[in-house]
Amino acid sequence: MSRPRRTILLVEDEKSIIEPLAEVLRSEGFETLLAGTVAEALEQARRDPDLVLLDVMLPDGSGFDVCRELRQRSQVPIIMLTARGEEADRVVGLELGADDYLAKPCELRELVARIRSVLRRSQAAQTSSATEAKAAPRTVRFGTKWLDLDAHLLRDEQGNEHPLTTSEFTLLKAFADNPKRVLSRERLLDLANARDPEAFDRAIDVRITRIRRKIEPDPEHPSIIRTVRGAGYVFSPDGRER
């Protein structure tokens, strides 16, 4: 029995870009959904694509608006397309929950490789969750919240759920597997399976800032995931240094 074809939602208003990209993806075995505006993107997203490739500049708004709305609906993997050299766009995209980014113009083969990489990470997380769900729930304390390793969720002491993106979960799991140990940015990227040869210096910092907003009592003065100047970060489950 053949595996169902993955569906990619392409959000891009330039026909000179979206049409050849859609053709390449179809030749690589993907189904495609096309959108050229914010409104079209949000409507097409209701068809539950496996991944969204999202341009920042759209005629009726911003790709950031789409990313923000999608993150409120689901944890679908999102790759942002940004203008070359615009680090600010990349930072904003990561802060909103994008899983990866790529500067335009880009090689189509590299883009396909990025898409496959993000899909593999997402599938691995889903498979792990389905397998582990058969066993007793496993949790790790992060201050006053608990990371459910089976459901890939954060829960507070009242049982309220705090959804995580795939990249946020893998990063938290990397800390959970290495408590009280100083981890460099490079080591965290390796442990979280998020190594990017073109990653800019702030990529891991942006992801940790997002996580701190979810787990820290005071994100401006973090005690659960602390910065070790010149070395990296350290995870203290109870918020104590010792």
Residue extents of the structural domains in the chain: 7-128, 136-235
Query: Higher-confidence residue: 199 or 85?
Result: 85
Q: What is the pLDDT of residue 1?
A: 45
Beta strands in the chain (DSSP E): 7-11, 31-35, 51-55, 57-58, 61-62, 78-83, 100-104, 139-142, 145-148, 153-156, 161-163, 182-183, 225-228, 232-235
pLDDT at 37 over 70: yes
CATH number among 1.10.3720.10, 3.40.50.2300, 3.90.550.10, 1.10.10.10, domain 136-235: 1.10.10.10
Give 176's contacts (C-beta < 8 A, 6+ positions apart). 140, 142, 147, 149, 235
Sign of CA dihedral 182, 185, 189, 192: positive
Q: pLDDT averaged over the chain?
A: 85
Can you name the CATH fold of 7-128? Rossmann fold (3.40.50)
| Whether the model pTM is above 0.85 | no
Plot region of 228 (φ>0 → left; ψ -120 to 50 → alpha; else → beta): beta
pLDDT at 193 over 90: no
